[in-house]
Amino acid sequence: RALREVKTLIHLNQSQRDAVRSALRTTCTVIQGPPGTGKTHVSVQIMKMWSKILDLSPLLATSDSNVAVDNIAMGLRKEGVKAVRVGRPDKINRILEEITLECLLEKEKVELDNRKYEARYRSRSRSKSGSPFADRKKKRDRAISRSPSPAGSENGDKDKGKGKGKGKGKGKVGADFDLQMRILQDADVICTTTISSGGDFFSKFAFAGILVDEAAQATELAAVVPLILRGTQRLVLVGDQCQLPPTVQSTEAEER
């Protein structure tokens, strides 16, 4: 079925369709093309076919540069693929702000707060129209709360106050992390740089497919980070060895 779908990609030329077909057939594909030959368009179509036709998940679209990752993310967004852009906000194109992990996290937290508010509102409505037994229990609880505290409880209250607020920050960070993991797990494609993909943040992910764009502009070590640390069932390397080589900053080389 996937190979039949390739024929419907009439906006691609024959060589581009052959590249997509190869990525669907084999576990490792290398796509080379000069500037302006539509490598990014082919990359987007490969990720789309992997996700929508082969139902592979999770997927990683990566590159050594933030610009290349942004280009793929923009293409996926136009194609209706649910992509999440992960990285430093100041390094990401503002056009992609809505699909950055930070923005999606804030939206998720707002929706969660709204759901909690609605749940509390519904519970209050039910309690107001509840049985007389519930009202009687409330009155009894209020009477108990107004009763004087037993001897020695003052010191106990003081002890209770100690350490109050401790762990609140950790709880918030943990809750945010859980929400971030849920957002990434719900995404069709995760878009980030090769180095970022090797961070502890992605330690729980083993990708069904990885596409490395501008592979010739990345050092060997940078290119293999997602492959070795995360692993994958399918791999596509896209680039052109005739374009700019990797940029390596070395004080020792500069002094020589």
The per-residue pLDDT for range 132-171, each reduced to its tens digit, is 445 554 544 554 455 444 444 444 444 444 555 555 556 6
Q: CA angle 146-152-157, nearest 5°?
A: 65
In the prediction, which pLDDT does 250 show?
77
Identity of the highest mean pLDDT range in 109-123, 179-193, 234-248: 179-193
The model's pTM is: 0.75
Phi, psi (rounded to 5 degrees) for 78: -65, -30
For 63, the 3-state DSSP assignment is: strand
pLDDT tens, residue by residue, 72-94: 999 999 999 999 999 999 999 99
Q: At a CB cut-off of 8 Å and minimum separation 6, what does 87 contact?
A: 66, 69, 100, 192, 193, 196
Mean pLDDT of 242-253: 79
The residue among 6, 33, 8, 11 whose CA lies nearest residue 22 is: 6
Q: What is the rounded CA–CA span in Å between residue 21 and residue 49?
A: 10
Q: What is the rounded CA–CA span in Å between residue 99 and residue 74?
A: 10
- Report the DSSP pairing between strands 83-85 and 28-32: unpaired
In the prediction, which pLDDT does 156 show?
47
Q: What is the rounded CA–CA span in Å between residue 150 and residue 144?
A: 12
Q: What is the rounded CA–CA span in Å between residue 242 and residue 28?
A: 21
Mean pLDDT of all residues belonging to the chain: 82
Q: What is the rounded CA–CA span in Å between residue 165 and residue 227?
A: 42
Q: What is the DSSP letter of 196?
A: G
Dihedral sign for Cα atoms in the order 34, 35, 41, 43: positive
* 70 has a pLDDT exceeding 90: yes
Q: What is the rounded CA–CA span in Å between residue 27 and residue 160?
A: 60
In the prediction, which pLDDT does 171 show?
65
